[in-house]
Amino acid sequence: MWTVTSTWAKGSPSTCNETPGEVNRRIQLAWVKFGKLSFIFRDQDLPTSLKKQVFNQCIIPVLSYGAETWTTTKKLEKKLRETERAMERIMIGVTRRDRVTNQNLREKTNVQDIIKEIKVKKWRWAGHLARQHDNRWTKKITNWTPRTCVRRIGRQSRRWTD
C-alpha cells in the first residue's frame, strides 16, 4: 500500500474514507487565499462584478481542487456551502445579524455554486475515465474496492467511484 504525502498531489489514496480531512484542508486553504485577497473583497467601493470574477477565478479553484475524487456527502456539501456563504457575506458587507437570506445573497453576488462546480468536475473526470483503456492505473484504482476498511453498520462501503 502506498500513500502520497506531498502537498501538491490531489490527495492520498487510502483504504478508508479520508475525504472529510481533505475537504477541511481545502476550506482552510481557501480561507487563506480569501484573506490574502481581502483588500479586494472588503472594499465597498469596488463593484460586485469584479469581486465575483476574482472569487470565481481565485477562490473556487482552491476550494474545489481535487474534488473529482472526493466521496461527497450531505454533511460535506453543507460545510462547503457554509464556507462559500460566509465568504459571500464578507464580499457584500453584511453579517448574519442583517438577516439576509442565502437566496438574496446569491442574487447579489452571482458567484458560482461550489456544489455544482464539484459535480461538473466529477462528471468530467468520469468521462475522462470512460475514454481510457483498461490497462491504465487511474482506471484500475477507480474500480478498486478496498477490503481492509470497515464500513459503519447500515452504510455502504466507500469506493473511489462514489
Residue-wise pLDDT tens digits, 18-31: 788 999 999 999 99
Cell numbers given for 150:
470497515
Cell numbers given for 135:
490497462
Indicate the Cα dihedral angle 59, 65, 69, 73, nearest 10°: -20
Q: Which are the contacts of 11, defined by CB distance < 8 A and separation ≥ 6? A: 4, 18, 22, 66, 69, 70
Residue-wise pLDDT tens digits, 46-81: 999 999 999 999 999 999 999 988 888 899 999 999
With CA atoms as reference, report the closest residue to 108 among 120, 125, 91: 91
Give CA separation, 20 vs 29, 98, 144, in Å.
Answer: 14, 31, 20
Residue-wise pLDDT tens digits, 88-100: 999 999 999 999 9
Amino acid (1-letter code) at residue 112: Q
